[in-house]
Amino acid sequence: MTTATDKTAGIQWGRIVRDGLWSNNVVLSQTLALCPTLAVTGTATNGLGMGLATTAVLVVSNILVSLIRNLVTPEVRIPVYIVVIATLVTLVDLGLNAYAHELHKVLGLFIALIVVNCAILGRAESFASKNPVASSALDGLMMGLGFTAILVVLGGVREIIGSGTLFAGASLLLGQAMSFLELTLIPNYRGFLLAILPPGGFLALGFLLAGKRVIDARAAAAKRRESLALKTA
């Protein structure tokens, strides 16, 4: 038998998933982490690598902050959270350098800059410090996956327009197991340089932001029509 507590937990977890992937997406809704979003998305492969690294830090930092939330006084909570995040980023940086060196060379400084990613500190402060471990872990995972999805989509769009390929260099950056991702979508394509330069990143991100606004507006209008129809029925 499903209890009221189970239903409440299910609703909360559903909201966490929806917020992370869409409603409160790190890039599309909060417009945070725009520096790595625009800088590393010249290809979908780079976007995937940065997204997964950020997701790992988000999940573990949320778990650790949730575990220590009752032990840290409000006066020192921000420095403690930053130390936790910086430690995790250092571990990710060393791990990528050891096991995915090519990807580490491409992402370079932006791995270290995960420390100052406002989305990570923001989730630690606004969610993990006030919720249990399981919910905090899910929140970190969903926020990370939502961020990763945007990086991959943005990088994919720019790569296809810029060079006619998709996930180029995946085997070199992520290992031979990922070679199946490498696709040439437009053979003998001479490329469109603007797409993979910084201005192309701004343009592509602008279209993604506009697309989300349009989808949200249409969904809200459909919900209003449905509500009106129920009232008049």
The pLDDT of residue 231 is above 60: yes
The pLDDT of residue 2 is above 80: no
Residue 50: per-residue pLDDT: 93
Whole-number Å distance between alpha carbons of 64 and 53: 17
The pLDDT of residue 152 is above 50: yes
DSSP state of 189: -
Whole-number Å distance between alpha carbons of 20 and 58: 12
Q: What is the dihedral of CA 180, 182, 186, 192, to 10 degrees?
A: 160
Burial class of residue 25 (count of CB atoms within 10 Å of its CB; 0-12, 13-18, 19+): buried
Q: What percent of the chain lies above the pLDDT cut of 70? A: 95
The pLDDT of residue 51 is above 60: yes
The pLDDT of residue 1 is above 60: no
H helices of the chain, in order, are 4-18, 34-39, 44-68, 77-99, 101-107, 109-112, 118-126, 133-163, 170-174, 193-196, 198-232
Q: Model-level pTM?
A: 0.93
Q: Which residue has the higher pLDDT, 50 or 173?
A: 50
| Per-residue CA distances from 131 to 16, 135, 169 (Å) | 12, 6, 40
Helix axes 44-68, 77-99, angle to 10 degrees: 140
Residue 210: per-residue pLDDT: 96
